[in-house]
Each structure stands twice: as C-alpha cells, then as structure tokens.
Amino acid sequence: MEALRVWQMTCTRIPTDAGEFQLCLYRTNWDEKEHLALICGEIRGGENVLVRVHSECFTGDVIGSRRCDCGEQLKHSIELVAAEGQGVIIYLRQEGRGIGLLNKLRAYNLQDEGYDTVDANLMLGHEADERDYTVAAHILRELDVRSIKLLTNNPGKIESLTALGIPVTGRLSLLPSINQDNAAYLTTKAERMRHLLDPAKLQPTQPRRNGEAPWFLPAISPGPSPENRPFVTLSYAQSLNGAITVRRGENTVLSNNQSMALTHRLRAAHQAILVGIGTALADDPRLTTRLVPGQNPQPVVVDSALRLSPAARLMAEPPLPWIAATEDASRENEAALTAAGARVIRLPATAEGKVALPALLRWLKNAGIDSLMVEGGAAIITSFLAERLVDRLVVTISPQIMNGLNVIQATLPSLPRLEARHSQWLGDDIIWWGDVQWAER
C-alpha cells in the first residue's frame, strides 16, 4: 500500500462561544474523507500542546444523543483548548469507532436488545474498536506539533499515537455526565475497553435537562495554594439581578437540587469551608457534603463578636467549627462554645472591629489548610473581593428577578474579571466559573 500522505486544503477563521479558532481541512491518499483540525493560538513548534483527537459521532456531536459521551467530550475539549489559549482538536471521520454510521445504528439496535457495545460490534462482524490514528499523527506533524498533552480517557489512544511517533507528555481526563441511557455504555468502556473511568462511579442519576455535567469539576476544583494563604474558591447563588436573599438575616433558597449537589461536590473538593456569622445565624447551615460522597470540610465561621449559639447545627456533627473572633469578643461566649466542642481563634481586628481576613487566612494556612471554599453571606463575599483574596469564582444564577439584598455591598477598589471561564446549565440554573484576575479601576 502506498504510504499515507496528508494535504492541508484550506483554513479559515471560526469564532465560537468559547473563543476564536482556525479550522483547517485535510485530504489524504488513503480515503475520500475530509478530516479537520480546529486550532487555537500558535502551535507550530509547540511542546506539550493540548490536543483532543476526536472521532466523528453524528448522533452525539450533532443531535446530542444521550447514548454516549462524545458530544459532551467535544464541547468540553473546545472549551479547555480555548481556556488554554493554545491547542488542537483533530476531528477524524471514523464514525462508530470505525464501523460507520449504518453499522453503528445497527449496533444500537442490538444494544437495545441487551448486548453491550463490544458484543454488538462483534456480532456485526467488526472489531470492538476499528479506529486508526495514523491520519491524526500526520496532521500533528504537518502542524509541527512536537509533543502533546492528550484529552482522553482511552489509554489505547495514547499507545497508538506514541507508537506513531507522537510524544504524549501528559493526559487530561474528560469525565462524563451519567444518565439512564449511557451508564451501561460507559461501564462497558471502563470494564472491557480499558477506559480510565471508575465503574463504581458510573451509576445513572435521574434524567435531567442538559445533564448535570460532573465533567466540569476538574476546572473548578482547587488550584495550588499561594505561599501565605489557602487557595480560595468563592461560591454563591444569586438572582438574575444580583440578589442573594430577600432581606438580610433571612434564608432564601435560590439553587435547584442539581446546583445544590454541585455545591456539595465543591465542598468535598476543599479542605475547609467559610461563612460569616450572618449566614450562620440566618441559615443555620450544616456545611456538609451530605448530597454527594465525600469528606465534610472543616467549617470556619467569621464571628467577630462570638454570637454563634452552642446549639447551632454546625455543632451537631464533626468536624466541629473553628470560630474566628477578635480579641475583644466575649470570653463568656467563648467558654460556652469551647465547652460544646468548637475551637475559637482570636485574631487582629480591622478599624471597623471585624476579624482581619488576611490574618485569618495566614492562620488557616499554618494550620494545614491549603484550599478554602467561601460561601457567604454578602458581607463576607464583599470583603473577600475587596481585599483581592479570591482565586476562583463559582456563581449560580437562578432564573428569577427578586427584590432583596445585593451580593456586593460596597464599591470594590479593584474589579475582578473571570479568565479561563466556563458556563453550564444545571436544570434551569446557569453556573459560571473561572479564575479571578484583577484590574484596577
């Protein structure tokens, strides 16, 4: 057989919601198909370039089928490459793991009869996976990409590209949403096709609009902590017009069940969780991860005057809270809270008599806390933003307009901007998240 050759036919600018790309079309002397490369930034001569090698999936990529995770993987890969500012998504025209759309649809019918995706392919006279990544390797060489970080759960793809002479220096997972229609398929990929997924976590959840998308959690899990304080993720829910509660001191539920589950996953990803005394008194929160598997974070309450009651729900289960107070706070109240199992931390005060947040964060860092989730309320949110103590922001926006307390309670001395930002529907809520960059007024 003649050696494979690849020609770049043309490229054009493609603006997307995630960012701007160049889309290049390739032809080969092996087939009559048109393979594609979606390119972000300057990649020629690049090392450790973020790459997704994606095989065509009409049902998942185009019409959003819930039977697979392909469309979700493609969308997330585009977002991650755009956030990186440099990378390539190679789109190979090898539908149905190489068996073509007709046989893929026939395999779906066999799966509906109870056969898994591997057995269905075998029954049709095909291999479990007939994909070939030679074209992808040639495209990467044509683009002068020297080494890659691969977006994949499939170790076979890493092995194939390595054997084809493409150095793979790292791998990033693409964790799937799980629903009633794809749970068995994903389990088969994990158990029979070596995909790097945990079968124990591939249990279907209740069907939901647009999917719960646990795959975005790596993008909002804690990053490396700064030298003198924990990595801080600020998370809160608001109405369309920025209100977080109807009135100060009153609990208003804004998040739906899916958004609340996301909040609990975020809690489980952090070592500690912080609220102000206003939230502790109004909501009487538990600050646990009860909606998801995971360890409860260490609760921290900023309570300058020590107003928290020993009967608060935070005192009902471990870990019991650490309470940050000023030196002038009540010694009598400290004794009652300490007797109930809380730990009171005395810290310097601001000119307004509030706990100095930088001092608290230094204390937490020295206590071994490298990641901190801040949930509010409004005064705490405003203070963390005003003092530029936020590294990542996660905002749930509820589709309602509401008179009430606005999330920002003062004019900020500098304005935060989200970089590497992402958004995702969870039911009727929209989640926005990203890394915080600061700009002067």
Q: Which of 61, 69, 129, 283 is catalytic?
A: 129
| Maximal CA-CA distance, the chain | 87
CB 343 within 8 A of CB 318: no
- Catalytic site residue 17? no
Q: Which residues contact 209 (CB under 8 A, 6 or more apart)?
A: 425, 427, 428
Q: Which of 131, 229, 265, 267 is catalytic?
A: 131
- Catalytic site residue 131? yes
Q: Which residues contact 132 (CB under 8 A, 6 or more apart)?
A: 94, 98, 160
Residues serving a catalytic function are 129, 131
